[in-house]
Copies of this chain bind each other. A is one copy, B any other.
Amino acid sequence: MIKKEEVLAKLPDLDGALSQDQREQVLASMQVRTYRKNELIYAEGDIPSHMLCLISGKVKIYKDGVGGRAQIVRVADAVEYFGYRAAFADENYVTAAAAFETSVIASIPMGLVRQLIMRNPQLGWFFIKRLATALGKSDARTVNLTQKHIRGRLAESILFLKESYGTEDDGRTLAICPSREDVANLSNMTTSNAIRTLSTFVQEKLIFLDGRKIKILDEAALQKISKMG
């Protein structure tokens, strides 16, 4: 069982935007839950009643496309807010979210978030910045996934995972251990091709694989492959 007090210490204060009073309001109405590995956090079509905050763990946000193939569109790392886009756009969720690994997530009623934004322009600015950044990334992703060839997409995904989740102490082994299917869903390819192309990367000494662990051996080369397409 996670105690709210423990979360309290970790909860980011939305870019310093909240007053002590508002902060307490948020804490009072906040719920905390733990999700197991691969557990669904919300599904496509769900009503986005709460904003979520990833206290610890890792989360993938994905869309199911044609023929059941999933595409991971975003990921969240601790500590980070997520799951608010649909509510702001006045839509139901068009994506689903699931835990990459065991994750602790706090939820805050969207109604309260809206109230706070209306009283606190700095908080509004916080979300404007986050949304604008995410939109830029999404646009870049659209072009990368459509125009790059399979090797370029895989190289990009590996760098994306390093960027998003960081590395272990050696600075080269990715902090996340995704299944081959997750890699495929990030890179817009079939699992077969993710496995195959990872293998050729190993042969070319670009990466080293140990089960699901991915160690980057030649980042410069990966960047080149990613850039060239």
A residues neighboring B (CB under 8 Å) = 63, 65-67, 69, 71, 73-74, 84-91, 94-95, 114, 117-122, 124-125, 127-129, 131-136, 138-148, 152, 188, 228-229
Evaluate whether A94 and B140 lie within 8 angstroms (CB atoms) in the complex, with A131-B131, A133-B89, A147-B65 already known.
yes
| Cα A69 to Cα B121 with chains together (Å) | 40
Find chain B residues with CB under 8 A from A139 CB: 63, 73-74, 94-95, 138
Q: Would A89 and B121 count as touching, CB distance under 8 A?
A: no
List 11 extra interface pairs beyond A63-B142, A73-B142, CB under 8 A. A63-B139, A88-B128, A91-B136, A94-B136, A120-B121, A121-B121, A121-B124, A131-B132, A134-B135, A142-B142, A145-B146
Find chain B residues with CB under 8 A from A125 CB: 114, 117-118, 124
CB distance from A111 to the nearest CB of B (A): 14
Residue of B whose beta carbon sits closest to that of A133: B89
Out of B69, B114, B143, which one reaches A147, CB within 8 Å? B69
Copies of this chain, count: 2
| Cα A143 to Cα B95 with chains together (Å) | 11
CB distance from A223 to the nearest CB of B (A): 14
Find chain B residues with CB under 8 A from A124 CB: 117, 121, 124-125, 128
Evaluate whether A148 and B85 lie within 8 angstroms (CB atoms) in the complex, with A117-B128, A128-B127, A135-B134 already known.
no
Find chain B residues with CB under 8 A from A138 CB: 135, 138-139, 142
Q: Would A89 and B132 count as touching, CB distance under 8 A?
A: yes
Residue of B whose beta carbon sits closest to that of A120: B121
Q: Would A65 and B143 count as touching, CB distance under 8 A?
A: yes
Out of B85, B129, B152, which one reaches A136, CB within 8 Å? B85
Residue of B whose beta carbon sits closest to that of A74: B139
Evaluate whether A188 and B66 lie within 8 angstroms (CB atoms) in the complex, with A124-B124, A128-B124, A135-B135 already known.
no
